[in-house]
């Protein structure tokens, strides 16, 4: 899977400022990398959330996670729902409703566990009511330094140009480049709408150019960013799933999330809890 950097695209200055408040080092994945065989089951599973309790207790009961929403109009926050599910009978849903040019986010967050390297996975259902025009995006996965807070990485959807969307990896400014950039797929594997899709991200922490971020979609490696700074502190990392956008042609979107996990081995789409 080749990938190409798209320097400076995908984020406005207002988005960067908003998140702060609330290709260098070899970015292209010209070769496939083997980051380990798909998981060894429960032995490597550090944390999970299935939403089967019917609430968000798996995320927030231990004090290391929460539901976070900002600049949505009307105000929305993540809730458990029985409207659809990937596994079992429940999932989580967030609403993203940007307005007045302000970036809107609605995320479920976790800041523990945070090992030196881990796989962060979740299943997403994005309805086909999603519409994006050039320059717009929908963030599904977000990493940030939770002590400052400072945004670090996004996996977001962007319009391919034929009415479909695909996932790209956004590297926020300051770590590896002054302006930040989107790492896009080439050739492109579309992100299907109206069905469940697994995104799995491997992140190896590094404050120098020895880290790595790799993304799989439904078990296929689509993006890889090796030999880069990945975090600002080895002791502080927050993982968010849900939705974020500064503007949607469709006006709003509900994003469903299910079967989230943090693990020491890659789980892949066939993994069970």
Kindly report, residue by residue over 118-132, the tens digit of the pLDDT: 999 999 999 999 999
Rounded to whole angstroms, what are the CA distances from 97 to 76, 82, 209? 8, 21, 37
Which tokens sit at 127?
A: 């309805």
Average pLDDT, the chain: 87
Task: Check residue 16 and give its pLDDT.
Answer: 43
How many residues are listed for the chain in this entry?
Answer: 273
pLDDT digits over 178-187, tens only? 889 899 999 9
Q: In what order do the strands lie in the sheet with 2-7?
A: 2-7, 181-186, 165-171, 150-159, 138-145, 238-245, 104-110, 65-70
**What CATH topology corresponds to 2-32+42-263?**
Jelly Rolls (2.60.120)
Distance CA 131, CA 74 (A): 19
Q: Taking the chain (273 residues) in consecutive chunks of 10 residues, what is each chunk's mean pLDDT?
A: 51 45 34 47 87 97 95 84 97 92 91 95 97 95 91 97 94 88 94 98 97 98 97 95 94 96 96 87
Residue 162 neighbours by CB under 8 Å, 6+ apart: none
Q: What is the residue extent of each domain of the chain?
A: 2-32+42-263
């Amino acid at each position: 899977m080749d990938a190409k950097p798209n320097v400076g695209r995908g984020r406005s200055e207002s988005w960067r400022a908003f998140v702060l408040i609330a290709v260098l080092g070899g970015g292209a994945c010209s070769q496939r990398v083997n980051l380990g065989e798909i998981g060894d089951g429960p032995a490597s599973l550090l944390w999970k959330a299935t939403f089967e309790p019917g609430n968000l207790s798996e995320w927030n009961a231990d004090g290391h996670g929460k539901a976070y929403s900002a600049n949505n109009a009307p105000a929305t926050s993540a809730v458990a729902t029985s409207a659809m599910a990937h596994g079992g009978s429940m999932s989580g849903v967030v609403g993203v409703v940007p307005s007045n040019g302000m970036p809107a986010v609605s995320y479920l967050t976790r800041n523990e566990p945070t090992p030196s390297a881990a796989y962060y996975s979740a299943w997403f259902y994005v309805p086909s009511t999603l519409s994006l025009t050039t320059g717009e995006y929908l963030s599904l996965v977000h990493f940030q330094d939770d002590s400052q807070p400072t945004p670090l990485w996004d996996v977001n959807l962007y319009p391919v140009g034929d009415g479909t969307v695909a996932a790209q990896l956004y590297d926020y400014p300051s770590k590896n480049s002054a302006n930040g950039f989107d790492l896009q797929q080439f050739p492109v594997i579309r992100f299907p709408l109206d069905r469940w899709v697994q995104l799995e991200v491997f992140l190896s922490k590094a404050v120098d150019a020895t880290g790595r971020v790799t993304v799989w979609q439904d078990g296929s490696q689509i993006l890889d960013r090796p030999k880069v700074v990945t975090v600002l502190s080895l002791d502080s990392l927050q993982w968010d799933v849900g939705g974020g956008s500064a503007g949607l042609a469709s006006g709003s979107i509900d994003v469903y999330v299910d079967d989230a996990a943090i693990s020491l081995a890659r789980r892949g789409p066939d993994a069970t809890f």
